[in-house]
Every structure is written in structure tokens, then in C-alpha cells.
Amino acid sequence: MKPAPFDYVAPRTIEEALRVLAEAGGGATVIAGGQTLMPLLNLRMSQPFILVDINGIEGFSGVTRIDGGTRIGPATRQADALQDTILARHLPAFVKALSHVGHHQTRNRGTVGGSIALGEPAAEMPATAVALGATIEIASVRGTRRVPAREFYVGPYMTVLEPDELVTGIVYPDWPESHHVLFREVAQRPGDFALVGMVGAAVVESGTVGRAGLAWFGMGPTPVAMVQLEAALVGKSLDDLDPDALAATAIADTAPFDDHHASAEYRRTVGRRTFARTLREALSLREPA
């Protein structure tokens, strides 16, 4: 099939893009990489009146260091982010998760902001933003706002973005360079969306967990922050951690579902085992006797 007819606009400035979105009255759709949008257009599952291409907007691509964190432009290609030295140094969990997004070919076009704005529940990038405490920068002709990633997702493919708003940046707070990366996903094939996945980071100081940020993907209608697990970890000595017991806490906030790929019970079972194994490996914890 071919897309329904639409007008194409390639603004050169943020102001121009926001004006088009405002004037479209909800009839415009933003395109950056187009890896999800183009199939939807071809299937006529998405029929915007106007397609707003943000790739030409100055400053919308690239990675920069800011006070207390790292900022990623929304149109930054996933392949470029994988090679970025700033991200490799300051956000290794982000890079680890990104290496599992799609395939080499799709990462050449796919963008960081596009994945985060789409909000696929089983995707790596939204969950990573939630786990690491990222903030989403949003703009419209009405002004700007900053929304924590943990408040950004409200349902499957649903976010707090209004039709006239645009993601203009994603800011990740600094984690100490000595932090531990936790990541694992279970998928039918490399590049597929995860059946079960977890991502996050933990800081250990003098044998005690001082900070933790973790999230599930593929375990609910949105990325799921492990709120109860984080509270159970912080302040605890590594000698007192029981990964198998903590695994039950880790899935307490999830809401897995049945689909044609896996059952909710499968996801819970694999989630518990995945968490326990990943925590042991990341923090070098002893296996049970």
C-alpha cells in the first residue's frame, strides 16, 4: 500500500516546527528516523495531514555535556550515539541498551528521540530513560517544560506529549563513573522487541548500595520503574543482598500480559530469574550454597 496524501514540511528552526504543529490542530506528525512511522503510513494506520521533518533543525542532533549531566538531541541517530565517546564514558548503561535496539540497518536511520517519544513498552530506550532518571525537554508555541521520564509514559504508545508539542532534548543525570551497569533482555531473535528486559545502574560505595535506578521493558503497558526494588537496595550491604528474594520485589511493580509471543506467567518467571542472575553478575555476588 501507499500512504494517504499529506503535505511535507522541513522546518529549519524549532520555532518554525512548533508553528506548523500548532497550526495543524493535531493533524501533523513529526518524522525523524521514520523506522516506525513509515510502515504505519504505508499501512494507512497513521494518516497525518502534514509530515514535519525535524532532521534539518540546527542543534537537534548530537551529544553534549551540561552541568550535572548529558544531553542528547532528539534527532541523534542511534548509530552515531553508539560511537559517541561522551556516552561511552558517562552513560555505559545507555550504550549497552542501545546496542540491542533493532538492527544495524535500522540504527543508521533510527533516532534516540524517536524511540523515546514513541513509547514502545518492550523497547530499550524508553526503559533506559526511566531507569537512569532522564528528563524529557518539551516545547510548543505555548512555552517549554521538562518532564521526568518516569512521568512521561501513560500507556502503550501514549505519552504526556500534546499534539502541538515537540521533544527537543533528553537529559540524563550523571552517575559516578564507577557505577555498575545492569542489563539483560530475552527476545525471540536479535533485534526483536524483548519478551522480558531490564536495564539500570547501581552505585556501590564501601560495600553498600548508595544509589540504584532500574526499569523493566516488556513487562507492562509502559516502561516499568522498579520502585520497590530500588528502595530495597539502597542502603543495603552487598553481604546482605539475596538476589532471589529481591527478584520477587523487582517484579512487584510489573503488569505483564498474555500475547501471542508469551504469557504473563512466562514473563514473571523469566523476569525473576533474569533479575537474580543479572544482579549477581553486576555486583559480583556469591551464588547460593
Supply 160's cell numbers.
504526556
Fold of the CATH domain 7-53:
3.30.43
Instruction: Examine the pLDDT at 122 and tell me if it is beyond 90.
Output: yes
The residue ranking higher by pLDDT, 192 or 98, is 98
Residues 97, 101, 103: CA angle, nearest 5 degrees: 140
pLDDT digits (tens, 9 = 90+) for 130-142: 999 999 999 999 9
Residue 64 makes CB contacts below 8 A (sequence gap 6+) with: 70, 71, 86
The whole-number average pLDDT for the span 228-239 is: 97
Q: Is 6 helix (H, G, I), strand (E, B) or coil?
A: coil
pTM summary value? 0.95
What is the β-pairing status of strands 158-159 and 166-173?
unpaired
pLDDT digits (tens, 9 = 90+) for 65-91: 999 999 999 999 999 999 999 999 999
Q: Using pLDDT thresholds of 50, 70 and 90, give the confidence band for residue 41.
A: confident
Residues 41, 42, 45: CA angle, nearest 5 degrees: 50
* Contact criterion met (CB below 8 Å) for 199 and 275: no
Pick the CATH number of 63-173 from 3.40.50.920, 3.30.465.10, 3.65.10.10, 3.40.50.720: 3.30.465.10
Residue 47: predicted pLDDT: 86
Supply 126's cell numbers.
524508553
Mean pLDDT estimate for the chain: 94
Class of domain 181-283: alpha beta
Instruction: Examine the pLDDT at 230 and tell me if it is beyond 60.
Output: yes
Measure the CA–CA gap between 186 and 193, rounded to whole angstroms. 9
Domains 63-173 and 181-283 share a fold: no
Measure the CA–CA gap between 60 and 22, rounded to whole angstroms. 19
Q: Where are the domains of the chain?
A: 7-53, 63-173, 181-283
* Helical spans, DSSP H, in the chain: 14-24, 37-42, 78-82, 85-90, 92-98, 104-109, 112-118, 124-132, 227-233, 243-250, 264-283
pLDDT digits (tens, 9 = 90+) for 136-159: 999 999 999 999 999 999 999 999
Give percent above pLDDT 70 in the chain: 99
pLDDT digits (tens, 9 = 90+) for 244-286: 999 999 999 999 999 999 999 999 999 999 999 999 999 998 7
Measure Cα distances from 48 to 36, 38, 44, 51, 96 in Å: 14, 12, 9, 7, 34
Question: Lowest-confidence range among 14-18, 46-50, 246-250?
Answer: 46-50
CA 287, distance to chain mean position in Å, is 31
